[in-house]
Amino acid sequence: MPDEPHPPLTARHRVKSYELDSFGHVNNAVYLNLFEGARNEYMLQRGLSFADFSVWKAHPIVAEAWVRYRRAAFVDDKLVILGAVENASNVSFTIRYRIEREGDGQWLAEGTTRMAFVDPEGKPTRIPQAFKEKFIESRGV
């Protein structure tokens, strides 16, 4: 992603006090929420919604996740979550993320989620064509 100056997936988040743990920094699990929130935002930007999953009878799941925490995030921090799709096939794709703090521009975390699609019974299924075109093949605005 460092060599991709305009990652298509971009979302913003202001850290809330309920996302902190007793050491005063954002809890490690919350970063997976931030990645998920960025996916929500990107779906909206690409004209997709959760209602599509019912129509397609297929929805995405996280098959694998990885996060490297570089610097702590604190209450009221304005975060930018950047992301880009990589390694897409017919059955899975990976999103690479980077979280930065606005203001000092510090790079706080990076990570990946490998995503796959399943049918309502949880069985693996091909990525729906409309999702592929709008979410995966898009190269941003």
- Among the listed residues 4, 6, 57, 64, the single contact to a copy of itself using CB under 8 A: 64
Decide whether 124 or 140 has the Cβ nearer to a copy of itself: 124
* Candidate residues 30, 95, 99, 127; the one interacting with a copy of itself per rule CB under 8 A: 30
104 binds a copy of itself (CB under 8 A): no
Given 2, 3, 5, 76, the residue binding a copy of itself (CB under 8 A): 76
| Number of residues forming the site for a copy of itself (CB under 8 A) | 38
In degrees to the nearest 10, what's the CA dihedral of 65, 122, 40, 74?
A: -40
Nearest to 78 by CA among 135, 26, 128, 43: 26
Tokens standing for 83? 């992301």
Q: Which two tokens stand for residue 108?
A: 């706080």
Q: Of 3 and 18, which has the nearer Cβ to a copy of itself?
A: 18
Q: Using CB under 8 A, pick the residue from 104, 105, 122, 129 that binds a copy of itself.
A: 122
Q: What residues make contact with a copy of itself under the rule CB under 8 A?
A: 14, 16-18, 20-25, 27-30, 32-33, 36-37, 40-41, 44, 49-50, 59, 61-69, 72, 75-76, 113, 122
